[in-house]
Structure formats: C-alpha cells, structure tokens
Structure 1
Amino acid sequence: MNHLRLLRYVDEVARCGSIRQAAERLHVAASAVNRRIQDIEDELGTPLFERLPRGMRPTPAGELFIRYIRDRASQLDEVRSQIEELQGLRRGRVRMVGSQALAPSFLGEAVARFRADHPLVDFQVDIGDHLQALHRLRHFEADLALVFNLAPEADVEVLGQAEQRLLCLMHRSHPLAKRPGGLRLRECAEHPVVLPNPEIGGRQLLDRFLLRAPVKLRPVIESNSFEFLRSCLRHQQALTFQIAIGAVTEGGELVAKEVEDRGFPRGQLVLACLHGRQLPVVAQAFAQHLLARMHEAPA
C-alpha cells in the first residue's frame, strides 16, 4: 500500500499548510514530500496547491483530491477493522469528539467499560463544541461526535439522542446548597453567576429562556473552560448551570439542584457521524455502547 503512504504526503501538507512541517511530522525529507506532490500534480495535470510566501494552500482541485484521499483512508480503516473482527482480534481505533460536560466522568467511564470487553481497542478522544465536532466529522478526523444540542445538518447522521435538563451547580458551602428541594431563578439572581461562553450549547439554551423570563442573570465570569468555572464555585461562592450528565458533584464537594421555574429548558445530547460514511466495525460497536450508556445516565 505504498501509494497510500504517498497520498498521505498530500494530506499532511494540507493539514499543516507547509511542506517543511509536513515532512517533520512524516519523518521524511522535505524534498521527498515536494517531489511526490509534483509527481501527482503532473499525473493529474493540475496544481494541487498554491505556493504562497508563507505556506501551501489547496487549490479547488486540491480540495477535491484531499477529500478523495481522506475518504480512501477512512475506507481502508473500515476494511482493516472488518478483517481484524473476522480474525477475532477485535483491534482498532475509535476517534471521537465530545462536549466538555462529558469530560469529567461520563466519557471516561464509557471508554473504560468498553475497553474492559475490548482491551485491544485504543481511543482518541477530543473535547470540543458543536462547531469543532462538525469540522472533525467532515474532515474525517473523528468517527463519532457526542455533543449537546447539535443542530440538524444535511451531511450529518444522528445515531441517537437523549434528553438532558439544565441543573444549577454550586459548592456545598453555598447558602442555597443547604436549602431543601429545588431553586427558583430569582434566588439564583441574588448570587454571583459564572457561565460558559455564549457559543456553548447549554449557555445558548439558558440565554433563550432568559429572553422571555422576568429574571435576568448577569454573569460575573464567562469562560470556555468548565473546569475553570468549577473552580469559581469553590472560591467565589458562585453558581453555574450544567446539563445533568455533566453535573458531577465530585464526592459531595459540589451540589446540583433542579431549577423549578416553569418551562426551564431541556436539550438533547446527540450522538452523530458523517452521513453516508461506513464506520469502522469497532466504532459502530462503541456507538451502540454509548447509546446504551446515554439512556442510563442522569437526565
């Protein structure tokens, strides 16, 4: 399969935007990468890249050819996985991207349980928002995406989803933590609130609800890091909002409470893949495993 290795030169240059950087990642000479690209361009009769002062940019023909390369690589991964499945090896690699809310507990536990039955399978798990998830699926950098409130896309297939409510999260020493039962938003408004950035799915759900609510929440801190927001709960007696599956209470240090205002929003945790793509056998198996775990998780 030497030809696939040479095609990878093109793909790596596209990812890096530089022959030199691609050569370093491929552990070959830059001249070899450049020569192979020129050979392919000569064979196709058209340039694949624009040679710019600061790097390489794919031409329209290059974009088409790069997508062909990635599709071929994906198909090869599928064939390898099927062969390994037939041989009983159950080896393979699952690549996925998940929402930040899943990082503290859910994804780690799901992967650990799967690997207990499939110890020869390895994983690449990246954390990102729904835009990053779509990018990785479309560029064949991930087999699966598990993200909150993924909007419908023509080229994305939804494999399953599970409803998730928003909860109010606080440190156990917070005055509201000692109150029995749930909370009202007007009570939350009396305390510092820290929130994820507006592009995060849970924040968007909250903002839409607040547009028609009589209560307004003004965050004193915004961040793209859920871990940082959790530290604010410890040090600033603040409140935040998190979907139920991500409202990990960390051994009782944090407390999660339901918001009892009528119509307080719920959203969907969505498992998806690229439409029309044949997933590797091991990724299909992990998708089924995830769907079962999603419906067992707190909602």
Structure 2
Amino acid sequence: MKHLQTFRYIEGVARAGSIRKAADDMNITASALNRRIQRFEEEFGGEIFERLPRGVRLNPAGELLMQHFLMQESDLRRVRSQVADLSGERRGHVTVACSQALIPYFLPAHIAAYRREHPGVTFSVQVRDREAAEHDLATFKSDLALVFEPVHLVDLDVLMRIPQVIHAIMRRDHPLAAKSEVRLRECLDEPHVIPSRRYGVRAMLDDAAARGSRPMRPIAKSDSFEFMRHYVRHENAIAFQIPIGLDMTGCVDLTSRPISVRDVAAGNLVLCQLRGRTLPVASARFGMTLSRALEGLAAEA
C-alpha cells in the first residue's frame, strides 16, 4: 500500500514515455518525479526504466513490476467492493470493453436496469475491436469484454457465448427487402459497404467471399457501423451488422434480412473476463446479469 502512489507515477511515466511529459500530466515537477522513481529503484534493487535519447520506456523488470501493480490494484478494488457489500450497499466501478453493436441498445438498457437496483455502482464503457478488447482485459483496463468473434481466447474465461447471424441492412424499397433471407452473392452483386478488417463481421465476410463465386468490391469501408447503416439511405446500398446491434422498430426507411447460414455461418458473441482474475463484486454481479440476458436472447432466437 505504501508504494501505491509511486506505482501510479510509474504507470504515468510508462504511458507518457517521458518523465517530463508525465510530470506535466500529473501536476508534479519533473525533478521531483525523477527522484521518486530513483528512490523506488534503489529500494527495488534495480532499474525499471530504459533511458532513451528522447524519453524512457519500461525494461523487462519494469514490465513485470507493472503487471504486479495492476494485479494488486485489481485486488484492492475487489476488497473495497466486498467491504461495501458487507454494509448491504453495493458500490464499485465496472469497466466494460465491447463491440460497437452493443452500444446503441443492449448495454444502455442493462446498465440502466442494474443501476436502478444499485445506484452506487458506476460504469465505464469503451468501444473496442476484438483484439483491443482482449488487450484491455489482459492489462486490467477492463473487467469484462463483450465482443463478436474474439481473436484468441487463450487467456480468457468465457462467461457466455451466443450465436449471431450476420444481417444485411438495406432500404425498405430495395429489391432484396422482399425476401425473408438473402444469399451473400446477392448482397455482393449490389453496391455494398463493409467494416475494416479489425472486426469480426468483416473477418466472416472475407472467409465466406473467398469460398464463394463473388468477390467483395465495396464502395466504402469504415470503422463505424453507424456510418455504414446511415450510408445505405443515400445510395440504396447494402451494409452488414449482427442482430443485437439492430432495432428496426419505428424505422420507416430501413430494414434488415439475415444472410443464409449456407453462405456465412453464425458467429459468436462472447462475454469474457481475464482467466484467473477474481473480479470486484459489482463487476462479477454485472457479468452474471449480462450472462442471463444473453442466455435469454439465445432462447428467443
């Protein structure tokens, strides 16, 4: 505990890549910050930063130390959360990394419902592609991740996974809107917009197109599913999304149709946490809440 503030200084220097810049960010003089780190290195028994011509970076010993600090900080948050629970008042802060599809409808509804029961709990929600979400878990920047088609899963515990069939989004006056299900080749014969390669939807479309008879020739690519959804209004094009990110209720000009699983198999929406990490009470309970909600969605499908 006595080194907690020093660890935060070290983390700030590692993030900034410079003692001077970190000092400005943390409202401390560069000389005082440098002395603080040097004293710690003397007590620690070795240097933790590699001094470079234009800054500093953690050396291997510093990387190990920072991982230890992040684990200790996580444990401290968990204990504080448990102490709050002893008084019968749920407190804590929950951090979630998620795919864009969870932002418009699913997460706002479930976070608000959770806070109605536990108003002392606060949240941070960060939109991440699938690799970035896994990195956030590994570096303790997020407690939970909810992402479509994670890349690795090696160091993660899966709390729940549900299938999601990719849908084609189109205007209601589009010829394909008359069908209950569309084929991928039909979509690729039309003007289409696709996400970047960082996203699971794109990876699945790439794989399916490589096996099929139609190449993808997008008229636009974007990191924003919101942009793609709105773009189809202007050029009568096709965009792609998973159903948890769609709500066409009250939408007078857009609709969506599932792409046949003969062309693109259903992908997995995965709720996960870092393997071996004991989450704070609020985060663990919210994870259970999301698991039940996802299980209900799977049962309705």
Please, what is the CA RMSD of the aligned residues? Answer: 1.8
Alignment partner, residue 180 of structure 2: 181
| Change beyond 3 A, Cα 1:155–1:187 | closer
TM-score calculated relative to the size of structure 1 = 0.93
Counterpart Cα distance in 1 of 2:25 and 2:291: 36
| Change beyond 3 A, Cα 1:53–1:249 | farther
Conserved in 2, the CA contact under 8 Å of 1:193 and 1:219?
A: yes
Alignment partner, residue 251 of structure 1: 250
Q: CA offsets, 1:96-129, max 9 Å, x none?
A: 1000111121111121111111111111100011
Counterpart Cα distance in 2 of 1:263 and 1:183: 10
Alignment partner, residue 203 of structure 1: 202
Counterpart Cα distance in 2 of 1:182 and 1:89: 49
TM-score calculated relative to the size of structure 2 = 0.93
Which structure 1 residue ranges, 4+ long, deviate > 4 Å from structure 2?
none
Unaligned 5+ segments in structure 2 are none
| Change beyond 3 A, Cα 1:261–1:163 | closer
Counterpart Cα distance in 2 of 1:295 and 1:18: 47
Alignment partner, residue 47 of structure 1: 47
Amino acid corresponding to residue 43 of structure 2 in structure 1: E
Segment drifting more, 277-286 vs 100-109: 100-109
Counterpart Cα distance in 2 of 1:139 and 1:218: 37
Unaligned 5+ segments in structure 1 are none
Alignment partner, residue 16 of structure 1: 16
- What SS is found at the alignment partner of 1:203? helix
Alignment partner, residue 279 of structure 1: 279
Amino acid corresponding to residue 202 of structure 1 in structure 2: V
Q: Please show how residues 21-40 of structure 1 align to structure 2 within 5 Å.
A: 21-40=21-40
Alignment partner, residue 229 of structure 2: 230
Counterpart Cα distance in 1 of 2:33 and 2:250: 52
Amino acid corresponding to residue 182 of structure 1 in structure 2: E
Conserved in 2, the CA contact under 8 Å of 1:185 and 1:261?
A: no
Counterpart Cα distance in 1 of 2:247 and 2:16: 37
| Change beyond 3 A, Cα 1:51–1:117 | same
Alignment partner, residue 267 of structure 1: 267
Alignment partner, residue 212 of structure 1: 211
Q: CA offsets, 1:273-298, max 9 Å, x none?
A: 11111100100001011111212337
Counterpart Cα distance in 2 of 1:23 and 1:250: 51
Q: CA deviation at 1:74?
A: 0.7
Conserved in 2, the CA contact under 8 Å of 1:11 and 1:69?
A: no
- What SS is found at the alignment partner of 1:83? helix
Conserved in 1, the CA contact under 8 Å of 2:96 and 2:144?
A: yes
Identity of aligned residues (%): 44
Q: CA deviation at 1:180?
A: 4.3
> How many residue pairs get matched?
298
Alignment partner, residue 126 of structure 1: 126
Conserved in 2, the CA contact under 8 Å of 1:206 and 1:265?
A: no
Q: CA deviation at 1:175?
A: 3.5
Q: Is 1:63 matched up with 2:63?
A: yes
Q: CA deviation at 1:263?
A: 4.6
Counterpart Cα distance in 2 of 1:187 and 1:63: 50
